[in-house]
Chain A
Amino acid sequence: MEKELRLMKGNEAVAEAAIRAGVDGYFGYPITPQSEIIEYLMDANPAETTGMVVLQAESEIAAINMVYGGAACGKKVMTTSSSPGISLKQEGISYIAGAELPCLIVNVVRGGPGLGTIQPAQSDYFQATKGGGHGDYHLIVLAPASVQEMADFVELSFDLAFKYRNPVMMLSDGAIGQMMEKVYLSPHKERAKTVPEWATTGKPTTRQRNIITSLDLDPNRQELFNRKLLAKYDEIREKEVRFEEFQCEDAEYLLVAYGTSARVCQKSVQLAREQGIKAGLLRPITLFPFPTKRINELAGKVKGMLSVEMSAGQMVEDVLLSVSGKVPVYHFGRMGGIVTTPEEVVESLKSKFIGG
């Protein structure tokens, strides 16, 4: 079936894609800059068409625990929020990771810390990629850079979440959430009629009890479980790295940027090349797993790298680890809800590597 062309906000694209992907339940609590997701879902009222549940919980903490419950029953469930709301959800996310349950969490990031600002930022990178809640765990983290990817990554997220029984986060930001672009929407998929065999939907006499828990008081068994998680993360690192390269073939200087910053940096690459500076861009699409291997390979070919983020410098630490000292790596970014301009990136590249 042909894909349907629409002009939509990134937030609306997430909502529409969720209905089309056959999601069973959405549980959320409004917060700028992502309230359009729940508004769109409430308006679309998919309970009448696909049977998808859309529920405004009494708080973010309630919403994530509804996701925990739905996921434990083997359902395709999701929640969305923005930075302060995502912080509130961290306990639940840690439990979901510990119970090895699939779900989708979308973070349309705004500036922080605290209530911060409602403007776009990328300052939740550490929280998203290094765990976020307590305990040794990782989310799979996808970073959409367009409205199209806001739609496409919903289904991809659920595929990955169910494949690995692991929560997936889409790490977006206020700019991508609020802007409108063309988007080609996939045809409607029916909601799944069956649930995975681990789902806790009642015990038939034919099998043992299914148990969903993140608690094990026996240290030996808990450590075994931790090792199992580590093996899963290693497999994800091995198989699920995604990235995009932009004019890297002959690049002497590499920009590394994701999401909105990657869009800005595409223009910076053009501007730099007009000034005779051979710049290229590597855009991580998965932030966990991080494209460590590819960045290390490119480190052997370029004179230096600039990590561009709307933060005080978070992803730059992963770039530094990937480069492993082969070439100089710097950070450039704006904070407080300010989106870096393409020109500023070029200026930073020049001042750090070329002088003047």
Chain B
Amino acid sequence: MTEEIIIAGFGGQGVLSMGKIMAYSGVIQDMEVSWMPSYGPEMRGGTANVIVIISSDRISSPIIKRFDTAIILNQQSLDKFESSIKSGGVLIYDGNGITRHPERKDINIYRVDAAEEASRMNSPKIFNTIVLGGFLKVKPIIKLENVIKGLKKSLPERYHNLIPMNEKALKRGEEIIKEVQKAG
């Protein structure tokens, strides 16, 4: 099993930390992982992305151009990465601020309106965990209990009181994600 994922959005949306939680969870599940962030001019211009690979085998290239799953959190990232998804792959996006929706017919498209849900839950910070919950519903490659352990590993201890909230967010993400299109 190898899952090649890109997560992309604005800086501050928790793109890199969502990837970190995935990577830590993968380690806890005894998988091989790699986490390759954009650290260059993109990051300094306000957008951020990270490539996460989770695999049962040794990972060859940590830098790739075609993805099994793209998790897209803003319009610029949708425009940039929609074409990079493998045929038959998965696109998960948050509809907030999206004016041009995905157009490809050969991929599975899911929508998780996490920004809206996070503000409804009065906790904008758990936005990325809601998205992660949605991802895990579509691709249950990591067990929820390992994600919780991953959260504990990737969050500084002073934030551990937020873990129950994040657990709720993961479950909420699983509930609210909806299929928009099956690959044709």
Asked if A179 and B62 make an inter-chain contact with CB atoms under 8 angstroms apart, the answer reads yes
Per-residue contact bits, chain B 116-141, to A (CB 8 Å; 1 contact, 0 not): 00000000000000000000000000
Given A7-B24, A182-B33 in contact, is the A118-B40 Cβ separation under 8 Å?
Answer: yes
Q: What residues on B are CB-neighbors of A263 within 8 Å?
A: 60-63
In-complex Cβ contact of B61 among A32, A117, A118, A342 (8 A): A342
Q: Which residues of B contact A175 (CB under 8 A)?
A: 36, 62-63
A110-121, CB under 8 A of B: which get 1 and which 0?
000000011100
Residues of the B chain whose Cβ atoms lie less than 8 Å from the Cβ of A342: 60-61, 64-65
Q: Is the CB of A33 within 8 A of B23?
A: no
B142 touches A (CB below 8 Å): no
Stretch of A89-97, A188-196, A212-220, A264-272 on the interface side: A264-272
- List which B102-116 residues lie within 8 A (CB) of chain A: none
In the complex, how many angstroms separate the beta carbon of A35 from the nearest chain B beta carbon? 10
Contact, CB under 8 Å: A179 / B37: yes
Q: Is B159 an interface residue (CB 8 A)?
A: no
Chain A residues near B61 (CB-CB < 8 A):
263-264, 266-267, 342
Given contacts A179-B34, A179-B37, A180-B34, contact A341 B20 (CB under 8 A): no
B51 shortest CB reach to chain A, Å: 9
Judge if A339 is at the interface, Cβ distance under 8 Å.
yes
A5 within 8 A of B: yes
CA gap between A267 and B64 in the complex, in Å: 9
Q: Mark B35-63, 1 if CB is under 8 A from A, else 0.
A: 11101110000000000000000011111
Alpha-carbon gap, A342 to B66, bound state (A): 10
Interface residue? A39 (CB, 8 A): no
State whether B60 touches A267 (Cβ < 8 A): yes
What are the residues of chain A within 8 A of B63 when measuring CB–CB?
175, 260, 263-264, 339, 341
Q: Is the interface of B mostly helix, strand, loop or mixed?
A: mixed
Q: Which residue in A118, A180, A182, A341 is a CB contact (below 8 Å) of B65?
A: A341
Q: Evaluate contact between A7 and B64: CB separation under 8 angstroms.
A: no
- Is A181's CB within 8 Å of the partner chain B? yes
- CB within 8 Å for A5 and B39 given contacts A267-B60, A270-B60: no
A24 to chain B, nearest CB (A): 30
Q: Which of A119, A182, A343 contacts B40 (CB 8 A)?
A: A119
Q: Which of B6-34 contact A (CB under 8 A)?
A: 20, 23-24, 27, 32-34
Chain B residues contacting A182 (CB-CB under 8 Å) are 27, 32-33
A33–B41 Cα gap in the complex (Å)? 12
User: Contact at A7–B33, with CB atoms within 8 Å?
Assistant: yes
A174 an interface residue at 8 Å Cβ cutoff?
yes
Chain B 55-88 residues near chain A, CB threshold 8 A: 59-66
In contact, A178 and B64 (Cβ under 8 angstroms): no
Q: Judge whether A180 and B40 touch: CB under 8 Å.
A: no
Residues of B within 8 A of A119 (CB): 40-41
Q: Is the CB of B60 within 8 A of A33?
A: no
Assembled-state Cα–Cα distance A270/B61 (Å):
11
* A74 at interface, CB cutoff 8 A: no
Contacts of A343 in B (CB 8 A): 65-66
Do B60 and A179 touch (CB < 8 A)? Answer: no
CA–CA, A270 and B66, complex, Å: 15
Separation in Å of the A330 CB from the closest CB of chain B? 20
Q: Is residue A284 contacting chain B, with contact meaning CB distance below 8 A?
A: no
Please, how many angstroms separate the alpha-carbon atoms of A259 and B39 in the complex?
A: 19
Q: For residue A93, give the distance in angstroms from its CB to the closest CB of chain B.
A: 27
Closest 4 CB pairs of A and B: A266-B60, A180-B35, A267-B60, A267-B61
6 residue pairs A–B, Cβ–Cβ below 8 Å? A7-B153, A33-B39, A178-B36, A263-B61, A264-B61, A341-B65
Given A117-B41, A263-B60, A267-B64, 18 extra CB contacts under 8 A: A7-B23, A7-B27, A7-B35, A7-B153, A32-B39, A119-B40, A119-B41, A179-B36, A179-B62, A180-B23, A180-B36, A181-B59, A263-B62, A263-B63, A264-B63, A267-B61, A342-B61, A343-B65
Please list the residues of chain A having a beta carbon within 8 angstroms of any beta carbon in chain B. Answer: 5, 7, 32-33, 117-119, 174-175, 178-182, 260, 263-264, 266-267, 270, 337, 339, 341-343
